[in-house]
Amino acid sequence: MELTVYNIKGEDTGRKVQLNDNIYAVEPNEHVMYLAVKQYLADQRQGTHKSKERSEISGSTRKLFRQKGTGGARRGDINSPLLRGGARVFGPKPRDYSFKLNKKVKALARKSALTCKVKDNEIIVVEDFTFDTIKTKQMVNILDSFKVNGMRNMFVFTEPNRNVVLSARNIQRTNVVLARNLNTYDILNAKRIFITESALKPIDEILG
């Protein structure tokens, strides 16, 4: 599969790049994409939630009412979960939500996501570029050139580009990532993915 290479002004350079069919033209597997997104979101959870159980509540342990004859529930001290201000039954405890996925499963998920984006014409290959200074307007001009300002956009680079990252930081829904850090969630979440020419090679090396 071939894609046209554009410059940052949104103009066709007249060149094309050959995409690896083993990455951008596979049979999409929705289940592994679901698993990869689920794992990513689970890893974002802190898992620090906590509520107090009966033994942790500060209060008297004196039995407030006799056991029978009141017509109410059989409850003991003021810490009972049946009373307002009492403990919580089976409340949340700190836990780790992360879970393991095999490397091949995660790789297939990224391939499937990239294939879906190519089919939907949401991947754009651009010439390598950098900024001499940190200026948000420069990144806005690029987005305006491709008429994608306001969409969820992602730029993929080979190496960290400080000026580009800082120029894009204040633009909502615009993300700058490295090719080696691509994940299924970011790929599916982006409406337009701008991949620099040099970033195609590390993607091939990682997923190919």
Please write the tens of the pLDDT for every residue from 6-17: 999 999 999 999
Answer whether residue 208 shows pLDDT above 90.
no
Give 4's Cβ-side CA count (13 Å radius).
10
Tokens of 8: 């940052």
Answer whether residue 65 shows pLDDT above 90.
no
* 2-46+98-207 CATH fold: Ribosomal Protein L4; Chain: A; (3.40.1370)
Q: What is the pLDDT of residues 160-173, one digit of tens each?
A: 899 999 999 999 99
Q: What amino acid occupies position 39?
A: Q
* DSSP string of 31-94, one letter each residue: HHHHHHHHHHHHHH---------GGGS-S-----S-SSSSSS----STT-TTSTT---TT----
Q: What is the pLDDT of residue 33?
A: 97
Q: What average pLDDT does range 129-140 have in this prediction? A: 95
Instruction: Name residues whose C-beta falls within 8 Å of residue 191's C-beta, 6 or more positions apart in sequence.
Output: 122, 148, 151, 152, 153
Q: What is the pTM of this model?
A: 0.84
Answer whether residue 76 shows pLDDT above 90.
no
Round to whole Å and give the CA distance between 188 and 40.
Answer: 12
Are the C-beta atoms of residues 10 and 145 closer than 8 Å to each other?
Answer: yes
Sheet architecture: strand order including 2-6: 12-18, 2-6, 123-126, 192-196, 153-157, 174-178
3-state per-residue secondary structure call for 158-190:
CCCCHHHHHHHCCCCCEEEEEHHHCCHHHHHHC
* DSSP string of 109-140, one letter each residue: HHHHHHHHHHHTT-EEEE-----SS--HHHHH
Q: What is the pLDDT of residues 101-125, one digit of tens each?
A: 999 999 999 999 999 999 999 999 9
Element (H, E) at 193: strand 192-196
CATH 3.40.1370.10 placement within the chain: 2-46+98-207
Q: What is the pLDDT of residue 142?
A: 96
